[in-house]
Amino acid sequence: MTDACVRTVVEAIHSSPTQAVLYFSGGTSLVLSWLISVSGASNTVLEAVVPYSTMSTIQLLGKIPAQYCSQQTAEEMALLAYNRALKLSRPGLPVLGVGFTGSLATTRPKLGDHRHWTSTVTLSKGLRTREQEEKVSSYLLLKAIANACKVPAIFDSELVESEVPEECEKLFSEEEELVQLINGQICFKVNPFSHETDLSNEDRKIIPSGSFNPLHDVHLKLLEVAASICGNGYPCFELSAVNADKPPLSVSQIKDRVKQFKKVGKTVIISNQPFFYKKAELFPGSAFVIGGDTAARLINPKYYDGDYNKMVEILTGCKNTGCTFLVGDRNVDGVFKVFEDFDIPEVLRDMFASIPAEMFHMDISSTEIRKRSGM
């Protein structure tokens, strides 16, 4: 394949909306060079990691793989890359996770679906030099990335007749994807229902989190007020599929609650992290919008094994991600409390900010709304 052919394919990839994280343990170094040498690379490449040594691969996977060069290892790397791409990408854009170990694997959702595509080929031993094998492997990986980005990549991969790739594509249903999320295979799923287009900072999110059973006008007003206070950021809700004090939501419950956000045209992210210090790792630099009751639990050592120092340590880690908390007044154990009523440790105080009562007053809970509506 000529340099011109490579450039044409890479330009098409960069013109697509797909953003990618690539993990490959050697053998395809040309792909990264091709991708970043063509203008527009920042549109596509979020991160590229080459875990070349065995220890690097072990640390990436969090375990010793049964085989370093295998389809299973490539798939596990691709899933890790996919979750990383979710964290780094802009909300609503399709993302791609690529894993390569001599097998090829990609995993990708687009808006509305989630696919897993694998390709495996055994190169004929002794037919090529190491450099020639690397070039063929790079052609194959580039073609896989192009296919995932839905751009044409019709070119000669320089395989001989006996080298036939085994390819498999699986389209996951919404139910299967939510099961993966609940089980922790996928860290979160974005449902980009918002119609807003003028967003000055999509990387920073403004997030009211909760179970939203049901979503009501108070929640919508809370997000509106928080967005006006923050000044810039991507306003969205976060639905916690896993709760620290309750059983995980079922697939049907998640689908029903997500429908509420579609009706009002608001983006909702479904996550499987019940704790804010874990949410902060998923959405660094974000502003979490919480009520006084949640703030009271957040700074209560009771929820950190009764250890005050542990609470400070964990929340300091949360602070180090750049996250902040906007706190609205709320009924706490029968007493209506405002931000100033909470004894926040000095080292954490600048991580919290009050929502002025004149801008927002939360005087009804989801529980009360359910009672009134007979839910």
What's the Cα-to-Cα distance from 303 to each of 199, 243, 310, 346, rounded to whole Å?
A: 36, 14, 10, 19
Collapsed DSSP state (helix, strand, coil) of residue 126: coil
Distance CA 96, CA 21 (A): 6
Distance CA 237, CA 311 (A): 26
How many beta carbons lie within 10 A of that of residue 272, not counting itself?
22
* pLDDT tens digits, one per residue of 47-79: 999 998 888 999 999 999 999 888 899 999 999
Distance CA 375, CA 372 (A): 8
Chain Cα centroid distance, residue 62: 19
pLDDT band at 38 (very low <50, low <70, confident <90, very high): very high
Torsion angle, alpha carbons of 307, 308, 312, 318, to 10: 50
Domains, the chain, with CATH or none: 3-172 (3.90.950.20), 186-373 (3.40.50)
What's the whole-model pTM score?
A: 0.83
Percentage, residues of the chain above pLDDT 70: 89
Distance CA 367, CA 11 (A): 53
* pLDDT tens digits, one per residue of 289-323: 998 888 888 999 998 999 999 999 999 999 999 99
Distance CA 267, CA 50 (A): 34
pLDDT computed for residue 296 by the predictor: 86
- Mean pLDDT, all residues of the chain: 87
pLDDT computed for residue 202 by the predictor: 66
pLDDT greater than 90 at residue 270: yes
Distance CA 159, CA 152 (A): 19
Query: Which residue from 122, 70, 145, 147 is spatially nearest to 101, judged by alpha carbons?
Result: 70
